[in-house]
C-alpha cells in the first residue's frame, strides 16, 4: 500500500492546524492532540518499509516532530524557528523549494 495518500492528507491537515495555532484560532493542546492522533493512525497503517521517502514525506515527518518537540511559546514567538517551520508549510502547500535541512523519518 502506498504511503502517498496518507502523507498528502496529513500534510494538508498539519498545515491547517499549524496556521490556525499561529493565528490564535487553535490552542496548543489541539495541535498536540493532532500529533498523537497522527501517530496512532500511522501505527495502523500498513506500508512497505522499503518504499522510498519523498521530499514531501521527509518534510511532513520533520514538521510533525518539530510541533511536538518545541514548547508552545517557542512555536509562537521564536522568529527563527517560526520562519523555518513556515518554509516547511509553504513546501507542503506547493509553494517553496525543498528545505534542505529537513531530515524527517518515519516513526
> Using one digit for the tens of pLDDT, what is the confidence trace for 36-87?
999 999 988 776 667 788 999 999 999 999 999 999 999 999 999 999 999 9
Could you tell me which residue, 51 or 88, shows the higher pLDDT? 88
pTM over 0.85? The answer is yes
Q: Would you state the cell numbers that stand for residue 68, as one nine-digit string?
A: 511536538
Contacts of residues 24-29 at CB distance under 8 Å and 24 or more positions apart, as own/partner, are 28/72, 28/75
HSE-up (13 A, CA, CB side) for residue 103:
1
Cα(57)–Cα(69) distance, integer angstroms:
18
Cα(74)–Cα(41) distance, integer angstroms:
27
Helix then strand count (H, E) for the chain reads: 5, 0
Q: What is the pLDDT of residue 9?
A: 96
Amino acid at each position: 500500500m502506498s504511503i502517498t495518500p496518507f502523507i498528502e492528507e496529513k500534510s494538508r491537515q498539519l498545515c491547517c492546524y499549524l496556521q490556525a495555532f499561529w493565528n490564535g484560532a487553535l490552542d496548543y493542546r489541539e495541535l498536540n492532540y493532532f500529533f498523537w492522533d497522527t501517530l496512532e493512525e500511522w501505527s495502523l497503517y500498513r506500508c512497505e518499509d522499503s518504499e522510498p521517502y519523498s521530499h514531501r514525506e521527509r518534510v511532513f515527518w520533520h514538521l510533525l516532530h518539530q510541533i511536538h518537540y518545541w514548547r508552545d511559546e517557542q512555536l509562537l514567538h521564536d522568529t527563527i524557528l517560526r520562519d523555518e517551520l513556515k518554509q516547511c508549510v509553504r513546501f507542503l502547500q506547493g509553494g517553496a523549494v525543498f528545505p534542505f535541512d529537513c531530515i524527517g523519518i518515519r516513526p
